[in-house]
Amino acid sequence: MKRVKHQDDFTERSSGKAVPEAKQLRKLAGDWLKQRRADAELSQADLAVRLGLKYYTFISQVENGFSRVPTEIMGAWASELGLEQATFARHLLRYYEPELHRLLFGAETK
């Protein structure tokens, strides 16, 4: 069976070859989140309590790029930081799912 170029590209991406880039993007998202938290004058523990999280270390994991803001608490996270929810989600989508962001919103500048 003949494979087209797009199939090969997808196979490469889904095989984990883009993982370092994904980790770097999560770290950039984490840096952005950490700055927004600092701007809101909240500690990691404060934010965790406000979000109803059992462990504040989850905030640290997100800010260090080891995890992502879960979709189900993204709106609450934005609100606790004093940010508009849709804008917050759209910004994080740029880091977490850059191709989906591009498809939905096109190539934009920051």
For tokens 């989906």, the residue is 100
- Whether the predicted pLDDT of 101 surpasses 70: yes
Tell me the per-residue pLDDT of 43-74, one tens digit each, with 9 for 90 and over. Answer: 999 999 999 999 999 999 999 999 999 999 99
- Whether the predicted pLDDT of 35 surpasses 70: yes
Query: How does residue 109 score in pLDDT terms, banded at 50, 70 and 90?
Result: low
Model pLDDT, residue 12: 46
Q: How far is CA 38 from CA 14, 59, 64, 87, in A?
A: 35, 13, 14, 18
Q: State which CATH number among 3.90.440.10, 1.10.3720.10, 1.10.260.40, 3.30.450.40 fits the domain covering 18-105.
A: 1.10.260.40
Q: Is 106 left (phi over 0), alpha (psi -120 to 50) or beta?
A: left
Query: How does residue 7 score in pLDDT terms, banded at 50, 70 and 90?
Result: very low
